Amino acid sequence: MLEVLRVLSTSSEALHHAVIFLFNGAEENVLQASHGFITQHPWASLIRAFINLEAAGVGGKELVFQTGPENPWLVQAYVSAAKHPFASVVAQEVFQSGIIPSDTDFRIYRDFGNIPGIDLAFIENGYIYHTKYDTADRILTDSIQRAGDNILAVLKHLATSDMLAAASKYRHGNMVFFDVLGLFVIAYPSRIGSIINYMVVMGVVLYLGKKFLQPKHKTGNYKKDFLCGLGITLISWFTSLVTVLIIAVFISLIGQSLSWYNHFYVSVCLYGTATVAKIILIHTLAKRFYYMNASAQYLGEVFFDISLFVHCCFLVTLTYQGLCSAFISAVWVAFPLLTKLCVHKDFKQHD
């Protein structure tokens, strides 16, 4: 904040709007300082938008994990201005769901000031955050430089924006937004996302419907195998979850809970390996005792269709609930289906 303030104060570029730098404390004590400012300070009524700087770790990329509420122009401002974008509507919906027991000044400005904003936070190396190891020498200059580049660019964009003066006019709808490998951000209105999602669902319905409506002599026991495979898939997921929970309880009982926190790959090896092993075991047993006469190609076809159906159900549920995170299921369904259809068409042409 000090460096951004220095750059702006020495810049010859004129800003259309004033910028307030609020250095506030008492954040850990129920966000008292931000509440005091937004409810009592005479400048509070003049504010049209804010950028809140947070941390849930030390270093790494600063993540945009909350925007709005509504005001899609703020997301567009970040998309247009940020030099190194790192943003996800998934993080926003997970955080705002209350699953993560945390809070930021963003809520105070939003709820008590009725002001839209952007919430950014460092999230890496969370295992040393709020501990005696959280010292200045652990703050990476690269992370500070990256954050400074983004914040300065977005701040300049907002301070010269014509929309800021009448921000309330542009308060309509939510945005689906996510970055692609930190190179750029894809953002579009949630209503457009709902249309795309239901188009993907219709594609799956047509694809699977055509298979289910084919005469029995062409499909054999496809319907029966599909339903049994669906049950096997759900059982494998459930047993994997139970296995992971058993391991987690065991780790806690021996006094090693969160021992993997400072090395993420350890948690992947510990829980990921158990999950994959359990799924493979269930499917191997199913192949040996139920699908023993089925070819590998046929089983691949059946379980591909089952995967499409399951993720399509997720897509319908998330879209119906109005969650922007449904784009993940849409991508998970659309690209495999398009690839399958293109490959199948290519095989047919070669035949």
- What letter represents residue 144's amino acid? I
| Beta-bridge partner residues of 54 | 121
Residue 104's alpha-carbon distances to 14, 21, 107, 240, in angstroms, are 31, 17, 6, 35
Q: Environment class of residue 237 by beta-carbon count within 10 Å: exposed (0-12), middle (13-18) or buried (19+)?
A: middle
Largest pairwise CA distance in the chain? 79
pLDDT given for residue 217 in this prediction: 47
Half-sphere exposure of 213 (CA within 13 A, CB side): 6
- Angle in degrees, 0-180, between the axes of helices 141-159 and 2-10, rounded to the nearest 10: 50
Q: What residues does each domain of the chain span?
A: 1-182, 193-348
Residue 329's alpha-carbon distances to 233, 339, 342, in angstroms, are 17, 16, 20
* φ/ψ (deg, to 5) at 26: 55, 30
Evaluate if pTM is beyond 0.75: yes
pLDDT given for residue 206 in this prediction: 92
Catalytic-labelled residue, pool 3, 13, 27, 62: 27
* φ/ψ (deg, to 5) at 174: -100, 170
**Structural tokens at position 33:** 């300082």
Query: How many angstroms separate the CA atoms of 110 and 114, rounded?
Result: 5
- 10 Cβ contact list (under 8 Å, min separation 6): none
Is-catalytic flag, 54?
A: no
pLDDT given for residue 251 in this prediction: 86
Residue 262 Ramachandran class (φ > 0 left, ψ -120 to 50 alpha, else beta) = alpha
Q: What is the pLDDT of residues 2-39, one digit of tens each?
A: 999 999 999 888 888 999 999 988 777 888 999 999 99
pLDDT given for residue 252 in this prediction: 87
pLDDT beneath 70: ranges in the chain: 216-220, 344-351
Query: How many angstroms separate the CA atoms of 3 and 61, rounded?
Result: 18
pLDDT given for residue 125 in this prediction: 83
